[in-house]
Amino acid sequence: MPLDIHAIYRIRSNARLITERARTIAVEQSVEMPLEAIDDPFVNSEIVGRVLDIKDISTKDSGGGVFEVRIALATATIGSDAGQLLNMLFGNTSIHDDVMLHDVELPCEFVRAFEGPRHGIDSLRRRVGAQRRALTSSALKPQGLPAHALAALAIALARGGIDYVKDDHGLADQAYSPFAARIEAIQTALRRHGSLTHYVPSLSGDLDSMRQQIAAARNVGIDTVMVAPMIAGLSNVHRLVREHPAIAFLAHPSLAGSRIAPPLLFGKIFRMLGADAIVFPNYGGRFGYSPETCRALARAALADWHGLRVSVPVPAGGMSTDRVREMLDFYGTDIMLLIGGGLLSAREQLTEATAAFVEAVKAYPYG
Amino acid sequence: MPLDIHAIYRIRSNARLITERARTIAVEQSVEMPLEAIDDPFVNSEIVGRVLDIKDISTKDSGGGVFEVRIALATATIGSDAGQLLNMLFGNTSIHDDVMLHDVELPCEFVRAFEGPRHGIDSLRRRVGAQRRALTSSALKPQGLPAHALAALAIALARGGIDYVKDDHGLADQAYSPFAARIEAIQTALRRHGSLTHYVPSLSGDLDSMRQQIAAARNVGIDTVMVAPMIAGLSNVHRLVREHPAIAFLAHPSLAGSRIAPPLLFGKIFRMLGADAIVFPNYGGRFGYSPETCRALARAALADWHGLRVSVPVPAGGMSTDRVREMLDFYGTDIMLLIGGGLLSAREQLTEATAAFVEAVKAYPYG
C-alpha cells in the first residue's frame, strides 16, 4: 500500500461542498495539479492523494458544518525529512483558514526512522537524582538582565531544589546577555553551588549558530538545551538531535500557534524529531488551550508509539504551586512542571517559594 | 528611544478587556513575567514592551469587538537574527487564536542590516532577456514523475518562451526524482534547447542540505532557487542568502498560513531576508486571499522601504492566461505571473498554451 499515511483534516464547510473540498485537499497535498492532466500510472496509483472517509462532526456549538476528512498520502513524497513531512501534510493547505490538520497516522518504519527522543523520562530524572516523582523546572527572566543577574536567579532557584532551570525563550544572544557569557556565568555559579540543578540554555539563530551554541554549552558541562522547532525549522532540529545524542532537548512552542492540532504537532511531530521534553501552554493559565487539548497532547507525547521513547510533557504558562496536586492528578506523574513568573514574583523569597513548589511535588502521593 | 519597534496587533476582544489584553501582549512579547517583580531600571525603561495606542476597528461585519493595538518593543531583544525577530514579535502570542500580528514598523538601520534582496526586478528581467515587461513562470509537476519526464515538461514550457520554470514546492529529494538527477536532467535539457528559460529548483531539508543543493545547482549553471522560509526557518534562509549573493531566491508560502498578516510576512519579513521574488496565493484562485490582501502584499513588496531592493510579487494558485490583463491592471507590471496547472492541463498542447500565456504578457500595453 503505497498511500501509507492517513492525514486527518477538520474542515469547516457546508455539506454540499465537502466532497469537493476533501478532493481538493487530497490533490493539493500530493500532486497539486488537475488530475485529468496526469496520465503517468505510477503517479495516479501511488502518489495522488485519496479521500478515504468524510465524517460530519458538526455539533450544536460548532456554528455550521464541520467535517473530519481522512486522506491517504504517500511517504514516498517525503523521504525522511521533517520539514518535507509538514510540507506534504499541510504546506499549502495551511493557507486555508477553515482547515485544520487534526491528526496523522504514519507507518511504523517511517516513524522509527526519525528515531525520536534519545533520553526519555528516566534519563531526565536520573540527571537530577529524582526517582519516580514528577520533575520541577523554572525559567530565567526577565529579558534584559545581565548574565550575572540571571546567574543569581539560577542560584536562588537551585537553593530551593529545582531540577531544571531554563532560559526564558526570549533569551538569545543579546548584547546585554550574550549567549557565551550567560552560559558560562550560570553554569559556573551552579557548579560552585554544587547542586544537581540543570541549566537549560535556549538556542537561537541558524543551524550553524545553534551548533556553536551547543558546542559552547557542552564545553562548560551543560547537557540539556531548549529549541523552538517552529522557528528553527524542523529539519534543523532533527539534525541537531542526530548530531548530539548526549544532549537532551526541550522543545518550546514559540510560533507554534497554527492550524495544526497541538496534540499532533507537539505530541507526535516534535516527538519524532527527538524532543525529550515539550513545553506547552497549560489549561487555566494565560493561554487558551482547553483541558481536553492538554490531556490529548500529554497522552500523545507519553503513549506507546512505534517504540519511540516518550517526550516528557511540560505544561507551563501562568502556573503556580497551589496547582501542583491538580496537575499531577490530571496529567499523571511522568511530567515536568514549570513555574516561571509565579516563582520569580516572590523576589527576595525566591528560594523559599521554589522550595515550597519542590516540596509540593515531592509530597504528592505517588502510590 | 530604545523601544524602537512598533508592532501592531489586531485582537478580537470585548471592549471591557482590551486594555488588559494589550498590556498582557506587551509583557508577553518582551519580559514575559509579572512587572511588579522587575526592579531593574534598564529592563523597566528599555525592555518592557509598552502599549502606545488602542483603536476600536470593529465593523458591522466583524461580529464583535476588534481592536488594533500598537505596542513598542525593543530591537535590543532581537539583535539581527530573523528567527528571533518572529520570536519577539509573535512567538508566544501566536498561540492565542484571537490575536493577529498585523504589521510592524522597524527602524531603518535594523531593516538595512538584513540587507534584503540581492537582485531585484531588473536583474530577474535581465537574466531572461526581458525589458520592462512582466515576467512569466510555470511549475514542474506532478510530484512522482522521474527527472527525464520533468525535463520534457521544462522543454515544452521553454519552447513556449516561458521565463522561469520552478519546481513544484513538493519536489524535494525523492527516490523517484532525486534532487541531483533532477537538476542535471532539466538544466542539461534547457541548455541544449538554447533558451533563456531559467530553471528554479526547490530546496529542502536542513541548512546543510540546502547548501549542498545550492552548490549542486551552481555546478550545473543554475542561478535561481526556491525555498519555503516557514519550513526552512527564517534564520537559515537569511544565512543562505548571505552566503550566496549571486543566487536569486524565490520564497514559497508553504506553511505560511498563520495569524501573521500576509502583507507583513511576505512583503516585509521575507523581503528583509532577501527574497528576490515571493510566490503567494492570488485572489480568485484556489486560496482565500482577498484582493485587498493581495494588493497590500504586492505593494509592501514593491514599496520604497529603507533602501532595500524590491521583492517581485508572484501571484499564483489557480491562475490562467485569460486573467493576464486583469492581473497586470491590478498589480502593475513589476511582477512575475505564474501559471502552473493551468498550462499543464493543455498536455500535448503545452508549448502552444505556454506561448499564448507569454504572448498575452508581451501584448499588454506597457505604455
Asked whether residue A63 carries a pLDDT value surpassing 90, the answer given is no
Q: Which helix (H) or strand (E) holds B101?
A: strand B99-105
Question: CB count, 10 Å around CB of B350?
Answer: 21
Which of A51-65, A173-187, B114-128 is the least confident region? A51-65
Regarding predicted confidence, which is higher, A318 or B132? B132
What count of CB pairs under 8 Å joins A to B?
A: 293
Task: State the Cα–Cα distance between residues B188 and A106, nearest whole angstrom.
Answer: 37
Q: Quick: pLDDT tens for A342-352.
A: 999 999 999 99
Q: Is residue A203 predicted with pLDDT exceeding 90?
A: yes
Task: List B224's β-bridge partners, or say none.
Answer: B248
Q: How confident is the model at residue B1 (pLDDT cuts 50, 70, 90)?
A: low
Q: Which residue of B has its CA nearest to A232?
A: B233
What's the pLDDT score for residue B287? Answer: 86
Span B130-144, average pLDDT: 97
Among all chains, which residue has been given the C-alpha cell 488588559? B20
Interface of B with A in 305-364 (CB under 8 A): 317, 340-341, 344-347
pTM, entire model: 0.97
> Which pLDDT score is estimated for A2?
86
- Each residue of B168-197: pLDDT tens digit? 999 999 999 999 999 999 999 999 999 899
A220 in B contact zone (CB under 8 Å): no
pLDDT recorded at residue B64: 83
Cβ-Cβ contacts under 8 Å, B77 against chain A: 143-144, 170, 172, 174
Average pLDDT over residues A62-87: 95
Subunit contact B91:A254, Cβ cutoff 8 A:
yes
What residue ranges in chain A does DSSP mark as E strands?
A: 5-12, 50-56, 66-73, 99-105, 135-140, 164-167, 198-200, 224-227, 248-251, 277-281, 312-316, 336-338
pLDDT category at B293 given cuts 50, 70, 90 is very high
* Strand ordering across the sheet containing A312-316: A224-227, A248-251, A277-281, A312-316
* Mean pLDDT score across all residues of chain A: 96
Hey, of B143, B173, B177, which one would you mutate to test binding to chain A, going by the most A CBs within 10 A of its CB? B143
pLDDT tens figures, A288-332:
899 999 999 999 999 999 999 999 999 999 899 999 999 999 999
**B4's grid cell:** 524602537
Domains recognised in chain A with CATH numbers: 5-105 (3.30.70.150), 120-363 (3.20.20.110)
- Return the pLDDT at A64: 82
Taking the Cβ of residue A24 and every Cβ of chain B, the question of whether any pair is shorter than 8 Å is answered with: yes
Cell of B92: 508566544
β-bridge partners, B167 = B140
Query: What's the pLDDT tens digit per position in B94-103?
Result: 999 999 999 9
Residues B40-62 have a mean pLDDT of 94
Q: Does A19 reach chain B within 8 Å, measured CB to CB? A: no
pLDDT (average), residues B269-282: 98
For chain B, the first-to-last Cα distance in angstroms comes to: 46
Q: So what's the pLDDT on residue A329?
A: 97
Complex confidence, ipTM: 0.97
Instruction: Give the gyration radius of chain A's Cα atoms.
Output: 22
Q: What is the pLDDT of residues B199-258, one digit of tens each?
A: 999 999 999 999 999 999 999 999 999 999 999 999 999 999 999 999 999 999 999 998
pLDDT > 90 in chain B, percent: 95
**Does the pLDDT value for residue A162 go beyond 90?**
yes
pLDDT at position A247, please? 98
Which pLDDT belongs to residue B118?
Answer: 98
Rounded to whole angstroms, the Cα distance separating A208 from A204 reads 10
CB contact under 8 A, B169 and A347: no
How far is residue A41 from each of residues A3, A44, A46, A117, B203, measured CA to CA in Å?
14, 5, 8, 39, 27
Q: Over 90: is that where the pLDDT of A249 sits?
A: yes
pLDDT of residue B288: 85
Contact B144 A76 (CB under 8 A): yes
Q: Which residue in B has a C-alpha nearest to residue A207's C-alpha?
A: B207
Which residues in chain A are closer than 8 Å to B207, comparing Cβ atoms?
206-208, 233, 236, 239
With an 8 Å Cβ cutoff, are A207 and B205 in contact?
A: no
Please tell me which residue, A120 or A138, carries the higher pLDDT value.
A138
- Beta carbons within 10 angstroms of residue B14's beta carbon: 10
Q: Nearest-CA distance from B143 to chain A in Å?
A: 5
Q: Residue A96 burial (CB < 10 Å; 0-12/13-18/19+)?
A: buried
Provide the chain B residues 68-127 that lie in CB contact (below 8 A) with chain A: 76-79, 81, 83-84, 86-88, 90-98
pLDDT at B130 over 90: yes
